[in-house]
Amino acid sequence: MALGPRLDLRQTQSLVMTPQLQQAIKLLALSNLEIETFIGEALEANPLLDLGEVAPPAAEAVEIPEEARRTSLESSPVDALIGEGRAADDRPLDIDPTTLDRDRDTGDFDSGDWGGDSRFTMGEEGPSIEERGGGEETLAEHLEAQIGTATDDPRSAAIARYLIGQLDDAGYLPVSLRDVAEDLGLALAEVEEGLALVQTLDPTGVGARSLGECIALQAQEADRYDPAMARLIDNLDLVARGDFARLKRICSVDDEDFADMLSELKGYDPKPGLRFGGGVGAPVTPDILITARADGGWDIALNQATLPRLIVNRSYYVELKGSCTDKPSKGWLSEKLADANWLIKALDQRQKTILKVAAEIVRQQDGFFRHGVSHLKPLTLRAVAETIGMHESTVSRVTSNKYLQCERGLFELKYFFTSGVAAADGEGAVSAQAVKAAIRSLIDAEDAKAILSDDALVDLLREKGFDLARRTVAKYREAIGLGSSVQRRRQKALAAVR
């Protein structure tokens, strides 16, 4: 066999993502406000693009049959019919999974799944609420993530969210409650209840109006807020001046107890909010709006207030075309026209995909929208993806950085994807968020003279249909910031004395 250089021709097949397809995938993960910024940059770069009039809200109608509504409290899934939706240009949305996803293997732009590459696939459970956002978690984001399990009252939750938005970087509330009550048109007692809710959130000490209140909240959480510690906290100015002899007389303690109290005091964080990045988070604008219909269904629409509509300026194109006489100019104009048409098509496809995913989430979580967090069902990205005929990675991108506004408040789409806990009857599962809400409800209702142990909570939860081990109950109880039975007994005894 002769050795030497030679030329060979070989044919191979490979899947290549074009720059436009990659850009379309990125558009899915952007929020409406980020899309607005992207459109602004596109308008500057392409003279053929122009802003059109705001179109009627693109929407999906999710109709829940009467029989399904009657059984929405049960563990069986709610059967829903997805009605006819409308795109931004008022064309009927094509929500046939076979047409939206059939070209995925070829990488065609019209595919409803923009990126079947398994490298982008999220885990089955999806990211938790603590993992929301791409950067460092802000104090506001951390606090708002706890509101859903802290209360079932949408009014209290709304007040608490407003107060969270007023906190400074250190976690303090710099505005008076009376001013807040006047701004919101509420009674002062309601605002005080909202502040009390904020002060139960982690980290302990947020929502305080003074250093003393911040330290007192932490001492109460540590079960060290006895009368002597209360007097010490009331005289922090003397601590700062080092007037220890006077403090020992005020607190009525000896040298050893006073040293312990000072050591305890040094362990508290005077600025709990600074543990988090970015200070106070920016106000969240909903991307999806959900309203109840008279017939029992739901109207789901994109928030058009943050979603400009693009059009191609045909008259300007004709004007430029007449002045383009050389080949480079004609090529440039053709390229800008193709880019403009592609972007409009990409944004329209994005709307269709978001509406389709949101409609399925609402269908799956119908019980939550009607009855609250106690009826939130376990749900995974894979379950939604399989139902609507898309890839799991597409659903993950659609639900990233998107917020849904409904009668119960503002929720990130990732909130509706929760892990499941086995039901006591062995059939189906319930959401971990629902379990946390049930635990909080039981503890809030307990008698100060009959504090519930974790074993007692296990029995009561089993009666409600939750099959949990004592260790799991303890984990969920700690996750929502509730102390052990011993800690709660001391706290309630101290509260009764005060």
Res. 459 pLDDT band, cuts 50 70 90 = confident
**Using one digit for the tens of pLDDT, what is the confidence trace for 246-294?**
888 898 888 888 888 888 888 888 888 888 765 444 567 888 999 988 8
Specify the pLDDT at position 447.
Answer: 82
**Using one digit for the tens of pLDDT, what is the confidence trace for 418-443?**
766 655 555 556 667 778 888 888 88
Which residue pairs from 19-26 have beta carbons closer than 8 angstroms and sit at least 24 positions apart in sequence? 20/109, 20/342, 20/346, 21/107, 21/109, 21/114, 21/115, 23/346, 24/109, 24/114, 24/346, 24/349, 24/350, 25/114, 25/115, 25/120, 25/397
DSSP-derived secondary structure for 302-358: E-GGG---EEE-HHHHHHHHHH--SHHHHHHHHHHHHHHHHHHHHHHHHHHHHHHHH
Predicted TM-score (pTM) of this structure: 0.49
57-66, 92-101, 193-202: least confident range? 92-101
Task: Report d(CA 153, CA 362) in Å as an integer.
Answer: 20
Whether 497 shows a pLDDT value over 60: the answer reads no
Mean pLDDT of the residues in the chain: 75
Specify the pLDDT at position 62.
Answer: 58
Task: Report d(CA 155, CA 148) in Å as an integer.
Answer: 12
CATH number of 420-497, picked from 1.10.10.60, 3.40.640.10, 2.10.10.90, 3.40.50.1970:
1.10.10.60
Supply 105's token pair: 């293997």
The arithmetic mean of pLDDT across residues 146-161, rounded, is 82
Res. 360 pLDDT band, cuts 50 70 90 = very high
Task: Report d(CA 426, CA 208) in Å as an integer.
Answer: 45
**Using one digit for the tens of pLDDT, what is the confidence trace for 2-50?**
677 888 888 887 766 677 777 788 888 888 778 888 888 888 888 888 8
Task: Please check whether residue 277 is in contact with residue 175, taking contact to mean a CB–CB distance below 8 angstroms.
Answer: no
Task: Please check whether residue 148 is in contact with residue 373, taking contact to mean a CB–CB distance below 8 angstroms.
Answer: yes
Whether 230 shows a pLDDT value over 70: the answer reads yes
Map out the domains of the chain as residue ranges: 19-45+58-130+284-416, 139-280, 420-497
What is the percent of the chain where pLDDT is above 70?
77
Res. 63 pLDDT band, cuts 50 70 90 = low
Task: Please check whether residue 171 is in contact with residue 139, taking contact to mean a CB–CB distance below 8 angstroms.
Answer: yes
Whether 73 shows a pLDDT value over 60: the answer reads no
**Using one digit for the tens of pLDDT, what is the confidence trace for 370-424?**
887 777 788 888 889 999 998 888 888 888 888 899 888 888 888 888 766 655 5
Res. 72 pLDDT band, cuts 50 70 90 = very low
Higher confidence at residue 125 or residue 195?
195
Res. 448 pLDDT band, cuts 50 70 90 = confident
Specify the pLDDT at position 16.
Answer: 67
Whether 157 shows a pLDDT value over 60: the answer reads yes
Res. 357 pLDDT band, cuts 50 70 90 = very high
Task: Please check whether residue 381 is in contact with residue 124, taking contact to mean a CB–CB distance below 8 angstroms.
Answer: yes
